[in-house]
Structure formats: C-alpha cells, structure tokens
C-alpha cells in the first residue's frame, strides 16, 4: 500500500482579500505560515515521515511545503497548479459562477476568459497524481501540496458518498490509501488555524 497526503497551501494575501487566485500568486500571510507550522507539528506528533515530496509550481504551495517538511528536496509539478481563471485572475471572488465553486466545479465558464474548463483541470491533476503515485515505491508515504480547486477536482472523480460540507480551508489535508492503483479516502484533516485540528474518518 502507498499513502498520499494531498494538502492545500496556507492562507495567502489574496485569500484574505477574497480575490480570485488560480495561476496568479500571492504570498502566505502570517496565519498561513502558522497553519503550515501546525500541520508540521501534527505530522511530527503522529510520527508521519515522507518518502516523496511534491508541490505545485506556485510559490504559495512551495512555501507551505517547505514550512511543513523543513526540506528542500521536493519536485515542483505544473500539473498540481490551481484552476486557471484566465482574465478573471485577481478579480473579487463574488464573481465566481457559484459560491461553493471548488465543490461544484466551474464547467466551461472560464474558457470565455481564456481560462480552463473543469475537464481540462481534472485531466491534468489526475494524470499528475497517478504518475507520482506510480513512481513511488510500495509502502511509500507521499506529501503533495496543491490548491482547493485542484484537490476537489481530484476528489470529485471518485464520486465519494461524503463530500465536505464547507469549502476546503487552508492547509486541509486529504489522506488517500492506494492499493493496486485504487484510491481510497481514509481521512480528512481540517482547520489548521490556531490549534491541532480534529480529524474524522470517511467510510
């Protein structure tokens, strides 16, 4: 069995200002760095060590991974980048076509703004994750830091019985167990804000 921890980056300036942030970037806030450090404490306290480290090429994801792992020997993968919102990057979040956008997806809405579609996002994220898991040795533990939309696009493909009842918060972590190429969501770790969060199992 292989284990994948798929994690969202810490809070950024654009998250704080409620601006659309996909392929554009903004720095982690003080809270964002604290969230990453709390995630590191969680992993350390639970004896979780990583054999492979991956990050989106966006700086906010890279900084989060470096704070969580205290390592620099990781790979940056374009396939883990956030949804491309095209000319809508940096605009107010209320312009999203639906409020819980990462859960429901965007369809083809952002193609008109030179962005990408849900299917394009899902294809590249799934291909990227499938490849990094295939390349890992049996028994390996993997940490990949990505983005809310990208993480949900991967999650939606499994048509899971239980969906998160609120948007993915910064530094939330999806734990997948992989056997013979089959992904099973084992745990969802939420709300790294000011304390080590509770987690719950998904059956």
**Known binding positions for substrate:** 8-15, 60
Tell which residue, 47, 76, 95, has the closest CA to residue 144: 76
Numbered residues of the known binding site? 8-15, 60
């Amino acid at each position: 069995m292989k284990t994948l921890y798929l994690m969202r980056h810490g809070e950024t300036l654009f998250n704080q200002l409620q601006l659309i942030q996909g392929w554009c970037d903004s720095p982690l806030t003080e809270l964002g760095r604290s969230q990453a450090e709390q995630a590191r404490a969680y992993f350390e306290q639970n004896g979780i060590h990583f054999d492979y480290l991956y990050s989106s090429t966006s700086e906010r994801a890279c900084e989060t991974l470096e704070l969580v792992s205290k390592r620099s020997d990781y790979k940056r993968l374009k396939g883990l980048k956030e949804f491309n919102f095209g000319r809508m990057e940096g605009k107010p979040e209320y312009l999203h076509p639906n409020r819980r956008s990462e859960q429901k997806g965007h369809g083809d809405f952002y193609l008109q703004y030179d962005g990408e579609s849900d299917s394009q996002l899902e294809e590249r994220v799934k291909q990227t994750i499938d490849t990094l898991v295939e390349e890992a040795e049996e028994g390996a533990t993997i940490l990949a830091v990505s983005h809310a939309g990208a993480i949900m696009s991967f999650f939606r493909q499994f048509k899971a019985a239980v969906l998160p009842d609120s948007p993915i918060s910064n530094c939330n972590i999806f734990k997948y167990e992989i056997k013979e190429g089959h992904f099973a969501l084992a745990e969802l770790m939420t709300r790294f804000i000011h304390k080590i969060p509770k987690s719950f199992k998904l059956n």
